[in-house]
């Protein structure tokens, strides 16, 4: 609770978050003998990556070796058992000067000094439609997600809901975004990661990724609902039509609507 300050929200919303949501999410984590911890040091996820290098590839925007960062614009949540981290995820706040698509394709999203850090033949192709319309705004990037094998899926659900709740009440941003491969999108993007939208179209190192998206209006609505802390209730799900279309390489899932 000490890490949350929702003073800008209406009193009724603050009461829901402070009295219901945060305690319920923390209790859901405690049931698995885990302790959630929040920090602003990206070296935390870098250390977890080194310990689990066979499973986790640290995304450059979360790697202090490749990106400078202001701790006030970074947050990391870890789940610890007996003092050892078994799960983590982080979010960084970026100002997108031109467009998100341009930030991807120029590689500035990945490296603080592209000429010296990127491979000579490294390229990114971005065809995700929303990436080219997101511009001149603050974007929160969520990534560096890791969970030890064998942990309950509720651990990840509670961790991501707690992380995005913190991001929603402390920062001003227009979008939360993430990148994930198709299998992760189908299994986790909506209910577990909490993204109501996903678009195909980010190619990097010969692999295709989906751009996960949540507008601020989405989180502004869900965090004040008591169901946000109920692990049995999905945050959002694509329609059946969207799922079928995604299998046919449709560009987008949308909350409560068919694929476009």
pLDDT in tens, 182-226: 888 888 888 889 998 999 889 998 889 999 999 999 998 899 888
* DSSP letter string, 52-94: TTTT-PPPGGG-TTT----GGGEEEEEEEETTEEEEEEEEEEE
Look up the CATH superfamily of 11-98+136-199+211-237: Gcn5-related N-acetyltransferase (GNAT) (3.40.630.30)
Identify the helix (H) or strand (E) that includes residue 136: strand 135-147
Q: Residue 64 is encoded by which pair of tokens? A: 């202090």
- 8 A C-beta contact, residue 253 and residue 242: yes
Q: Where are the domains of the chain?
A: 11-98+136-199+211-237
Residues pairing with 88 in the sheet:
78, 146
- 8 A C-beta contact, residue 32 and residue 155: yes
pLDDT in tens, 53-81: 666 666 788 988 888 889 999 999 999 99
Percent of the chain at pLDDT exceeding 90: 55
pTM of the model: 0.87
């Amino acid at each position: 609770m000490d890490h949350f300050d929702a003073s800008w929200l209406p009193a009724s919303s603050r009461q829901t978050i402070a009295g219901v949501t945060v305690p319920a999410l923390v209790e859901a984590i405690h049931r698995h003998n885990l302790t959630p911890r929040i920090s602003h040091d990206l070296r935390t996820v870098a250390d977890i990556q080194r310990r689990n290098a066979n499973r986790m590839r640290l995304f450059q925007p979360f790697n202090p070796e490749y990106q400078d960062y202001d701790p006030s614009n970074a947050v990391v949540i870890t789940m610890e058992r007996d003092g050892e981290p078994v799960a983590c995820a982080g979010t960084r706040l970026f100002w997108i000067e031109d467009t998100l698509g341009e930030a991807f394709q120029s590689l500035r999203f990945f490296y603080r000094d592209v000429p010296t850090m990127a491979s000579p033949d490294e390229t990114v192709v971005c065809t995700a439609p929303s990436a080219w319309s997101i511009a001149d705004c603050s974007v929160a990037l969520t990534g560096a997600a890791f969970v030890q094998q064998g942990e309950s899926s509720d651990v990840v659900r509670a961790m991501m809901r707690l992380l995005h709740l913190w991001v929603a009440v402390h920062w001003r941003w227009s979008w939360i975004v993430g990148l994930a491969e198709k299998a992760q999108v189908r299994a986790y993007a909506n209910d577990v990661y909490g993204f109501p939208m996903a678009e195909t179209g980010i190619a990097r190192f010969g692999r295709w990724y989906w751009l996960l998206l949540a507008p601020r209006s989405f989180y502004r609505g869900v965090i004040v609902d008591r169901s946000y802390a109920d692990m049995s209730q999905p945050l959002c799900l694509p329609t059946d039509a969207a799922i079928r279309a995604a299998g046919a390489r449709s560009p987008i899932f949308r909350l409560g609507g068919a694929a476009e």
